[in-house]
Chains A and B, each alone.
Chain A
Amino acid sequence: DTGVSQNPRHKITKRGQNVTFRCDPISEHNRLYWYRQTLGQGPEFLTYFQNEAQLEKSRLLSDRFSAERPKGSFSTLEIQRTEQGDSAMYLCASSPAGYGYTFGSGTRLTVV
């Protein structure tokens, strides 16, 4: 277990389709975060899990976005009815106690 793994690396989808991304955190880390990054900007917080509990969700996050972390292991982020504005890099990070996030390589979503 050498780091945070995200799949797929790239996803191209048509507007209106649903997409799902997966994140496998570092196994000893109980905290898992999803961030979104657009070109030229810093990562923007989406949601956060401690074990299987989703503890915080950004107020900016549309109802079209949902995330799960069953059994406190891997996590999935689903976007329903995608829009062109959803095009971005989706980053997952994990941490043992809130300090020292380790980020995955991200999933780049392009909505056409």
Chain B
Amino acid sequence: GENVEQHPSTLSVQEGDSAVIKCTYSDSASNYFPWYKQELGKRPQLIIDIRSNVGEKKDQRIAVTLNKTAKHFSLHITETQPEDSAVYFCAASKIAGTASKLTFGTGTRLQVTL
């Protein structure tokens, strides 16, 4: 089955700096890669996703890049703000027909300091 590794496990940046979180996946058939943000005691919320036919996607201050050859994808947050502090999870899935199970990474705790 799919295995997703995520690094780093914790990340501390100063407000205004950029943050990068990296994930690798094992199943070359995976074709969908979402990122979720989870604040303490709350539900995971989708912040951005990318499909395998695209190399990069951007939404305001967040962007995701995908390297299918190397089987890794990354989340980039620019101009970080205190409200970006949370745990971020990457995930991978092979979506085909009825198959659509997400496999999650272990999470990155991002702390944005003033």
Chain A residues with a Cβ under 8 A of chain B: 31, 33, 40-45, 48, 50, 55-56, 91, 95, 97-106
In the complex, 23 of the A-B residue pairs with CB atoms within 8 angstroms, ordered by the A residue number, are: A31-B100, A33-B101, A33-B102, A40-B106, A41-B106, A42-B89, A42-B107, A44-B104, A45-B101, A45-B102, A56-B99, A91-B43, A98-B32, A98-B93, A98-B99, A98-B100, A100-B34, A100-B49, A101-B102, A103-B44, A104-B43, A105-B42, A106-B43
Cβ of A86 to closest chain B Cβ, rounded Å = 19
Whether B98 contacts A55 by the Cβ 8 Å rule is yes
Chain B: interface size category: 20 to 34
Please report the C-alpha to C-alpha distance between residue A44 and residue B49 in the assembled complex, in whole angstroms. Answer: 19
Please report the C-alpha to C-alpha distance between residue A31 and residue B95 in the assembled complex, in whole angstroms. Answer: 12
Please report the C-alpha to C-alpha distance between residue A48 and residue B45 in the assembled complex, in whole angstroms. Answer: 19
Please report the C-alpha to C-alpha distance between residue A111 and residue B45 in the assembled complex, in whole angstroms. Answer: 27
- 0/1 string, B73-92, CB within 8 A of A gives 1: 00000000000000001010
The list of the 7 closest CB pairs from A to B, nearest first, reads: A98-B100, A42-B104, A98-B95, A103-B43, A105-B43, A103-B44, A42-B89
Cβ of A61 to closest chain B Cβ, rounded Å = 13
Cβ of A2 to closest chain B Cβ, rounded Å = 13
Cβ of B55 to closest chain A Cβ, rounded Å = 18
Which residue, of B42, B89, B93, B98, has the highest number of chain A Cβ atoms within 10 A?
Answer: B98
Whether A99 contacts B32 by the Cβ 8 Å rule is yes
Which residue, of A91, A95, A98, A105, has the highest number of chain B Cβ atoms within 10 A?
Answer: A98
Given contacts A42-B104, A55-B98, contact A91 B44 (CB under 8 A): yes
Instruction: List residues 9-42 of chain B with CB under 8 A from any CB of chain A.
Output: 32, 34, 36, 42
Cβ of A24 to closest chain B Cβ, rounded Å = 14
- 0/1 string, B46-67, CB within 8 A of A gives 1: 1001000000000000000000
Whether B107 contacts A45 by the Cβ 8 Å rule is no
Please report the C-alpha to C-alpha distance between residue A101 and residue B105 in the assembled complex, in whole angstroms. Answer: 16
Cβ of A66 to closest chain B Cβ, rounded Å = 18
Please report the C-alpha to C-alpha distance between residue A106 and residue B38 in the assembled complex, in whole angstroms. Answer: 12
